[in-house]
Amino acid sequence: MGSSMEESINKSLAEFEERRAQIMELQREFQSAAVTSTSKDRTVEVTVDAQGGITGLRFLNTKYRTMPSAELAAVLMQTIGDARAQVAQQVLEAFQPLSGKQLGGGGAGGGGLDWEQLFAPLRAEGMTTPPVRPPSGSGPARTALSDEITEDDEPAAPAAPFPTDRKDER
């Protein structure tokens, strides 16, 4: 009986180490991952990293110079949101084989995957990981990763106008 218990422990430890190595490799890949999205009117191009941070912003023509500020802000916000949704989808798809569950569109907020638990070993080693929000309110748990995903057939919510009355916070 002791031998089978030891074999079981060794097997579980080997599976754990294999899963950990897969996660570490994904983390290394995401350190350099980026997505670029172009606005529907082809005015703006935005690049974001795996955490959704803006790493590039380009105006593709001079149309932005004549756009009202609220319209330009809405185009920027929509394009940034599109890029973040694309990178979030890539993250979910990359981690799907590790979870053994359907992620993204098919299930409740991330397919029941506990992102905090999944990323805890990486954070313990000081690595950056995608942001994870705690579940809010009632209903299925949602994460920052699954919240960023929007379906193509869903109408996009209009972006709020850029606030002009904010005080400079330092």
The 10 Å Cβ neighbour count of residue 14 is 10
Higher pLDDT, 141 or 15: 15
User: Would the pLDDT of 96 be above 70?
Assistant: yes
Is residue 130 assigned to a domain? yes
79 compared with 124, residue with greater pLDDT: 79
Question: Are the CB atoms for 45 and 58 separated by under 8 Å?
Answer: yes
Structural domain that includes position 141: 2-147
Contact 26, 94 (CB under 8 A): yes
Q: Residue 18 sits in a domain of what CATH number?
A: 3.30.1310.10
For the full predicted model, state whether its pTM sits above 0.75. no
Please report whether residue 159 resides in a domain: no
Residue 153 domain flag: no
- pLDDT tens sequence across 120-158: 777 777 766 666 654 444 444 444 444 444 444 455 555
Domain count, the chain: 1
Neighbour tally for 121: CB within 10 Å: 16
Average pLDDT over all residues of the chain: 74
Tell me whether residue 141 is in a domain: yes
Q: Examine residue 48 and state whether it is found in any structural domain, yes or no.
A: yes
Alpha helix locations (H) across the chain? 2-31, 69-99, 115-124, 144-147
Instruction: Say if 68 falls within a structural domain.
Output: yes
Q: Considering the domain boundaries, does residue 161 fall inside one?
A: no
Q: Does residue 155 belong to any structural domain of this protein?
A: no
